[in-house]
A and B are shown apart, each in its own frame.
Chain A
C-alpha cells in the first residue's frame, strides 16, 4: 500500500497546486517533490508490493511491486523531478499549471516503474505523455507546437504497436501479467500458446512471437529512442523548457530502458537470439549517429539531446548482447548490471548537464547557441567546475559514475558481439570531442563582452549542483551502492533467461 501511497503522493500535490489560487507555486512544488523524495527513500523499501483484483473473473489482477531495480528507478525519478522543479522555480517559473503537470508526470512515472501488469503499466506509460506534451507545447520555445505534436504522435504511434502486441499475448496466453508471461516464456510455453491461440491463421508460433516482439520493440524504441525512431527527439528536447528536458532525458527515456530490460528480455526470452545481431547494430547506429550528429550541432540543447541518444545506445547494445545465444553467464550479468547503472547514472548526469543549460539560458535570457558564450570560466568559476564534473562524468571519466556503467556494458557485450562493441568504443571518443569542444567554446578563451556581467551560481543553485555531483561522485567511487540493489534483480532476470539446468 505504501507503493500506492507513493504513486498518489505527487498527484495529490498536483491537485492541491491546481486548486490553489496562485503564486509561490515554484516553492510549493519544490517542497512537495522534496517530500516525495523522502517518501520514496524512507517509506518505500525494495520488496513492497500491492495488488488490485480488478477483473478477477478474467484473471486481471493488477499487481504493483518494487524490487531493488524498481526502487532505484523510483529514487531516480524523485531526485530528477526535485531538481527539475527546483530549477524551474529558481529560474522564475511559478505557473501552477506547469508545476502541477510535472507532478502528474512524476506520479505516472512511479506507476510505470512499479506496475507488473500490462494494463496499469500501459496506462501510466501513456499518462506520462499528456503532461509531457503539454509542458513542451505550452511552456516551450518558439517551435514548440510542432515539436510537441511530433513527440506526441510518434510516441503514441509506438504505443499502438505495444498495445497490439500485448493484446495478442492476452488472447493466446491468457495473461498480461509480466511475471506470468515471463514464467511461461521461461518454461518455453509461450510459443506453444501462441501457436495454439492463433491456430486459425496457421502461422508458426515462433514467427508470431518474433512479430509480437518486433511490435513491442518498436513501442519501446520510440521512447528510448533507438535510431531510426529518434526523429522526434532533437526538436522536442531543444524546444522544451530545459527543466522539462531533464525529465524527458532523465526519466522518460529510462522508461524505455526499464521496459527493455524488465519486460522485453524476460517475456521474449525464447526468441531473443534472433534479435541479438540486428539490435546490436541498431545500437551501433544509435551510438555513432548520436555522437556524430552531436558533433555538428551549434545549439547546446540539440547537442546534448543527441548526446542522450548516444548514451542510451550503450544500454541497447548491452541488452542485445545479453540476449545473444553465445553469451556466457558472467558476460550477461555484466551487460545487464551495466545497463542498470548506465540508465541510473545517465539520468543523474544528463540532469546535471541540463541544469547547466537552464542556468546558461537564465543568465543569457534564453540564448543557447554555442557562439553566444565564451570565456565564462573567468566570470563563473564555480559553475564551470560543476558543469565540468558533469561533462567529464558524461564522457566516461573513471572515478565518476558514467564510467562504471560503460565499463560493465562493454565488458559484457564484447564476447557476444565483438565487432559492434568495438565500433561503439568510437562513440566514447566522439563524446569527448563534442563535450570538450563545448567546454572550450563556452568557458575557455577570452571573456565575451555579452557575458561580462553574469553572476556566478547562487546558493540554491550551488546546492542543486552539490546534490547531483554527490550522486555522480559516490557511485563512481563506490558502485556497490547501486549494484547492491541491482544485482539480485539482474541475477533473477538471468535465471529467467537461462534457467539453471
Chain B
C-alpha cells in the first residue's frame, strides 16, 4: 500500500477523507436513536483513515530517490467548462502527510474521549455524525492537490464547525456563537475566493503540483511574480494577501479573531478538536501550503511581512487578554489565538518547518489541555469559572498530571516538552528574519506572558484550597482519562524530533536527511536563544507564583489579585480590548442602518412612485376614453370574478369523491395518447 500511495495512484488515499464522509452520510440518513452504534461507526471509519494516513506518512518519510522532497501528485477531471477540463486531485508530501496523520490521530483520541464525555447527551449520535463530517472535510483539505478542492473542504470544515458550535442549539448564546463563527470566517473566505480566482485567471490552473505546470511550480510562480496590479504590487503578493485574509479568518488572527473565544459554547471535545488542534490550524496550513506564492516576492516582501506582523500582534494581544480571563475554556481559547500567532510569525519569517512543528506540537498539547479542562469541567459538574475551583489536584490526580504536562509544554518548560523546542524554532526563524526585529520582540514578550497566564490558571484550578463548597470534584472515568495519557505521552515524545541537535522534522519537510549533531546546541545563536527561553519561562512562572501562589485568593468572590494593582488596564484586557463592541458599533450597526435605509427606499420611494405611476396611468386611461373603463375592464373583472366564483364553489362542493380526479386523469391520458399517435403519424 505504501508503494501504491507514493507512486501517484491515490485511490487508497481517497479513503482517508471518504471514510468519515461516508460514515457521516450514512448516519445522517438514519434516525438519531442508536447513538452508541453511531459512535462506533464513526470511530471505525476514522480508525481506517488513520491506518491509511499512517501508511502515507511512512511512504514519505524518506527523501525522494534523486534527493528532494518525496511528493506524489494526482489529478482527474472533475468537470469540463466548455472544452476546458477542470482538474482536481490529491497530493502526498511530508507537509500534508504529517498534518493528515496528526489530524486523524488527534481526532480518533477525541472521538474516544467523547464517548465518555457526551454519554448523557440525548443527541449523542448526531454529535458523532457532525464530528465525522468535520474529520472528512479536514482530511480532504490536508491532502488536496488543488486550491479549489482545498477551498471546498475548507468551507465544509466551516459548516461542521458551525453545526458543532451550535450543538446545544437551544442555548441562544450557542446559536449566536455558531452564526458569528460562520460569518466571520466567511469574511476571510471571500477574500480567499477572490484570491483563488485571480490566481486562476493568470496561471490558468489551480492544481498545486502538475508535473511542472502547477500553481506552486516555477513556471506559474514566475508568471505570477512578473505580473503587476494596482499599486504596483505583484499579482503573487496581492493574491497572497487575499489568501492570508482567508487564513486569518480560520486561524483567528486579529482582527478576525472574535469568533474563536465565543466558539467555546460548543461541547469541550469540539473545542479541543476543532477550535484548538485542527481546524483553526487550517489557516496556518493554507499559508504553509501556498508558501511558495508568498515567498516569490522575497523573504521580507509585503506578503510575508504582513504575515509576520499580523502573527506577532495577534500573539501578543491574545496572551495579554488571556491573563485577564476567568473562564477556563476562554483562557485556553485566547491561548490558541496567541499560539496561532506564533505559527504565523514563523511562516512570515520563512520558517515553514518551524510553523508546522509548532502546529503539530500545539495540536497535541492544546488538545490535551482542552480535554483535561473538559475533565475538570465534567468533574466539577459543569463549572467553568476558575475562581470557583482550587485544590483540585487531590480530587483529580490523573487529570492534574496530564494537565501539568500540557501546561508545561505550552508555557515552554525546557527540554522534555515539545512546546519548548517548537517555540525555540519559531524564535530562531523570527530572529534570523531580514525584515526586522519587531516580530521577534513581540513573540518573546508573548511567550513570557504565556508562562504567566498558564501558571496562573494551574495555580487557581489545582492548587490552594477549594473555594466553592458546592463543588465536589471527582476524577473522570477511564475512557476520558486514557486519551489524556496518550496525548501527554505524545507531547513529550514529539520533543525528540525537533531539537537543534537532531532537527529531523525540519529536514524532513525540506527533503533532506537530518544528522545527529549535539554540537549544534552550542552554536552561539542557538545557545543564546535557549538561554533566553529559559529566562522568560522562569520570569513568567515566578511572577505568576508571586501573585497567585503565595497570596492565593481565599474565596470565589475575591477580586483577582492582579486586578487591584492594574486597575483600568485589567478591565481593558478582561473585555478583550472591546473588539466586539467596536464591531457592533462600526460594522453591524451601520450595516443594519443601510439595510433599513434600502428597505425604506424600496417601500417608500419605489413603491410610492410605482403607485403614482399606476394612478397616472389610470387617469390617462380614464380621460382618454371610457372604452377602457366601460368595456374591457368589466369584462376582465367578470372573467376574474367568474373564475373566483367557480373556484370558491369548487372548494365548497368538495364531496370527497376521488373518482372525479381519477376521471380527469383518465380523460387526459386518453386525450394525450390520441394526441401522441396523431402527432407521430404526421
Chain B residues 612-664 with CB under 8 Å of chain A are 614, 617, 640, 643-644, 646-647, 650-651, 653-664
Let me know if A1 is at the binding interface, CB within 8 A.
yes
Shortest distance from the beta carbon of B147 to any chain A beta carbon, whole Å: 12
Residues of A311-369 whose CB lies within 8 A of B: 329-331, 333-334, 337
Closest Cβ neighbor of A231 among chain B residues: B606
The answer on a CB contact under 8 Å between B646 and A97 is: yes
Instruction: Give chain A residues whose Cβ lies under 8 Å from the Cβ of B403.
Output: none
What is the distance, in angstroms, from A333's C-beta to the closest C-beta of chain B? 3
Does the CB pair B183–A97 fall under 8 Å?
A: no
Kindly list chain A residues whose C-beta atoms are within 8 Å of the C-beta of B151. Answer: 398
- CA–CA, A337 and B148, complex, Å: 17
Q: Are B665 and A295 in contact (CB under 8 A)?
A: no
- Min Cβ gap B179→A in Å is 5
The distance in angstroms between the C-alpha atoms of A232 and B611, with both chains bound, is 11
- Provide the bound-state CA to CA distance between A27 and B204, in Å: 52
Residues in A neighbouring B595, C-beta threshold 8 A: 292-293, 295-296
Contact partners of A1 in chain B: CB under 8 A:
679-680, 682
B680 to A16, Cβ gap below 8 A? no
Residues of A near B599 (CB, < 8 A) are 293, 296-297
Question: Could you tell me the distance between the alpha carbons of A385 and B682 in the complex, rounded to whole angstroms?
Answer: 51
* Chain B residue nearest in CB terms to A25: B661
Q: Does B671 contact A (CB under 8 A)?
A: yes
The reply to whether A292 and B598 form a contact with Cβ atoms under 8 Å apart is yes
Contact A21 B660 (CB under 8 A): yes
| Residues from 183 to 206 in B contacting A, C-beta threshold 8 Å | 183, 186-187, 190, 193-194, 197-198, 200-201, 204
Please determine whether A443 and B169 come into contact, CB atoms closer than 8 angstroms: yes
Q: Hey, which chain B residues are within 8 Å of A161, CB to CB?
A: none
A138-B644 in contact given A293-B595, A410-B197, A483-B79 (Cβ < 8 Å): yes
Q: Which of A13, A94, A228, A398 has a CB less than 8 Å from the CB of B651? A: A94
CB of B616 to closest CB in A, whole Å: 12
Q: Which of A116-175 contact B (CB under 8 A)?
A: 134, 137-139, 149-150, 153
Q: Is B225 an interface residue (CB 8 A)?
A: no
Q: Which of A404, A426, A436 has the most CB of B within 10 A?
A: A436
Given contacts A428-B190, A432-B186, A444-B175, contact A20 B170 (CB under 8 A): no
Contact present for B82 and A440 (CB under 8 Å): no
Interchain CA distance A131-B200 in the complex, whole Å: 46
Would you call A331 and B79 a contact (CB within 8 A)?
A: no
Cα distance, A429 to B153, chains bound together (Å): 18
- In the bound complex, residues from chain B placing their C-beta under 8 Å from that of A487 are 80-83
Which stretch, A2-10, A65-73, A248-256, A267-275, touches the partner chain B? A2-10
B residues 550-592 near A (Cβ < 8 Å) are: 591-592
Cα A31 to Cα B665 in complex, Å, equals 8
Chain A residues 430-460 with CB under 8 Å of chain B are 432-433, 436-437, 439-440, 443-447
| Residues of chain A contacted by B105 (CB below 8 angstroms) | none
Task: Say whether B169 contacts A23, CB under 8 Å.
Answer: no
- Can you list, as one digit per residue, whether each of B256-299 has a CB less than 8 Å from chain A (1) or not (0)? 00000000000000000000000000000000000000000000
Residue pair B197, A414 in contact (C-beta under 8 Å): yes
Q: Which residues does chain A contribute within 8 Å of B64, judged by CB atoms?
A: none
Q: Is the CB of A25 within 8 A of B664?
A: yes
Interface string of B149-172 (1 = CB under 8 A from A): 001110110010010001001111
B602 within 8 A of A: yes
Please measure, in the bound complex, the distance between the C-alpha atom of A437 and the C-alpha atom of B665, giving whole angstroms: 44
Is A422's beta carbon under 8 Å from chain B?
yes
* Distance of A69 Cα from B176 Cα, bound (Å): 42
A377 sits at the interface (CB 8 A):
yes
Chain A residues with CB under 8 Å of B204's CB are: 330
The number of chain A residues touching the other chain, given as a range, is 35 or more
Q: Are A446 and B170 in contact (CB under 8 A)?
A: yes
Question: How many angstroms from the CA of A445 to the CA of B179 in the assembled complex?
Answer: 12
Complex: chain B residue closest to A385, CB-CB? B28
Docked-complex contact B653 and A411, CB < 8 angstroms: no
Partner of A414, one of B201, B657, B680: B201
Contact with A along B43-70 (1 / 0, CB 8 A): 0000000000000000000000000000
Please give the distance in Å from B342's CB to the nearest CB on chain A: 29
User: Are the C-beta atoms of A445 and B170 separated by less than 8 Å?
Assistant: yes
With the chains together, A5 CA to B174 CA distance in Å? 55
Q: How far is the CA of A23 from the CA of B159 in the complex (A)?
A: 45
In Å, the complex CA distance between A428 and B190 comes to 8
B660 adjacent to A22 (CB under 8 Å): yes
- Assess the B650–A8 pair: CB atoms within 8 A: no
Contact at B159–A392, with CB atoms within 8 Å? yes
Q: Is A219 at the interface (CB under 8 A from chain B)?
A: no
Once the chains bind, are A4 and B679 in contact (CB under 8 Å)?
yes
Q: Which of B156, B193, B667 contacts A399 (CB 8 A)?
A: B156
B 116-170 contacts with A by CB, 8 A? 148, 151-153, 155-156, 159, 162, 166, 169-170
**Chain A contacts for B594, CB-based, 8 A:** 292
Complex: A494 Cα to B84 Cα, angstroms: 14
B660 touches A23 (CB 8 A): yes
Closest chain A residue to B21, Cβ basis? A399
Q: Is the CB of A134 within 8 A of B643?
A: yes
A153 to B80, Cβ gap below 8 A? no
Nearest-neighbour CB distance to chain A for B158, whole angstroms, equals 8
Q: Give the CA-CA distance A85 to B591 in the complex, in Å.
A: 39
Collect the chain A residues with CB atoms within 8 Å of residue B643's CB. Answer: 97, 134, 138
A60 part of interface (Cβ distance < 8 Å): no
Shortest beta-carbon distance, A43 to chain B, in Å? 9
Contacts of B172 on A, CB cut-off 8 Å?
444-446
Bound: A259/B587 CA distance, A: 39
What's the least CB distance linking A422 to chain B, in Å?
6
Please state if B661 and A480 are interface contacts (CB–CB under 8 Å). Answer: no
> In the complex, what residue of chain B is closest to A30 when comparing beta carbons?
B661
On whether the beta carbons of A22 and B655 are closer than 8 Å, the reply is yes
CB distance from A472 to the nearest CB of B (A): 14
User: Taking the complex as formed, is A24 at the interface, i.e. its CB lies under 8 A from any CB of chain B?
Assistant: yes
Those of A389-446 within 8 Å (CB) of chain B: 392, 397-399, 403-404, 407-408, 410-411, 414-415, 421-422, 425-426, 428-429, 432-433, 436-437, 439-440, 443-446
Q: How far is the CA of A178 from the CA of B591 in the complex (A)?
A: 45
Q: Which residues of B contact A20 (CB under 8 A)?
A: 660-661, 663-664, 667
A17 at the interface (CB under 8 A from B): yes
**Given A22-B653, A429-B187, A436-B179: A16 and B661 within 8 A (CB)?**
no
A231 close to B610 (CB less than 8 A): yes
A226: min CB distance to chain B, Å? 14
Question: Which of B81, B201, B640, B653 gathers most chain A CB within 10 Å?
Answer: B81
Note all chain A residues with C-beta closer than 8 A to B78.
Answer: 479-480
> CB-CB < 8 A to A445: which residues of B?
169-172, 175
Contact call B657/A24, Cβ cutoff below 8 A: yes
Bound CA–CA A242/B182 (angstroms): 29
Please tell me if the beta carbons of A23 and B657 are within 8 angstroms of each other in the complex: yes
Cβ of B672 within 8 Å of any chain A Cβ, yes or no, is: yes
Q: Which residues of B contact A398 (CB under 8 A)?
A: 151-153, 155-156
A392 vs B163: C-alpha distance when bound (angstroms): 12
A214 interface residue, CB < 8 Å from B? Answer: no
A12 touches B672 (CB 8 A): yes
Which residue of chain B has its CB nearest to the CB of A145?
B640
Instruction: Give chain A residues whose Cβ lies under 8 Å from the Cβ of B640.
Output: 134, 137-138
Q: Which of A208-234 contact B (CB under 8 A)?
A: 228, 231-232, 234
Residue of B nearest to A425 (CB): B190
Inter-subunit contact B83/A491 (CB<8 Å):
yes
Q: Which residue of B lies closest to A150 (CB)?
A: B610
B81 touches A408 (CB 8 A): yes
A15 to B670 Cα, complex, angstroms: 13
How many Å from the CB of A14 to the closest CB on chain B? 9
B176 touches A425 (CB 8 A): no
- Given A97-B646, A432-B183, A436-B182, A23 and B598 touching (CB < 8 A)? no
Q: Given A12-B668, A26-B661, A414-B201, list of 11 further CB < 8 A pairs?
A: A12-B675, A95-B651, A134-B643, A232-B610, A330-B82, A392-B159, A398-B151, A411-B200, A425-B194, A445-B169, A483-B81
5 pairs of residues in contact across A and B, judged by CB atoms under 8 Å: A1-B680, A138-B643, A381-B32, A440-B178, A491-B82
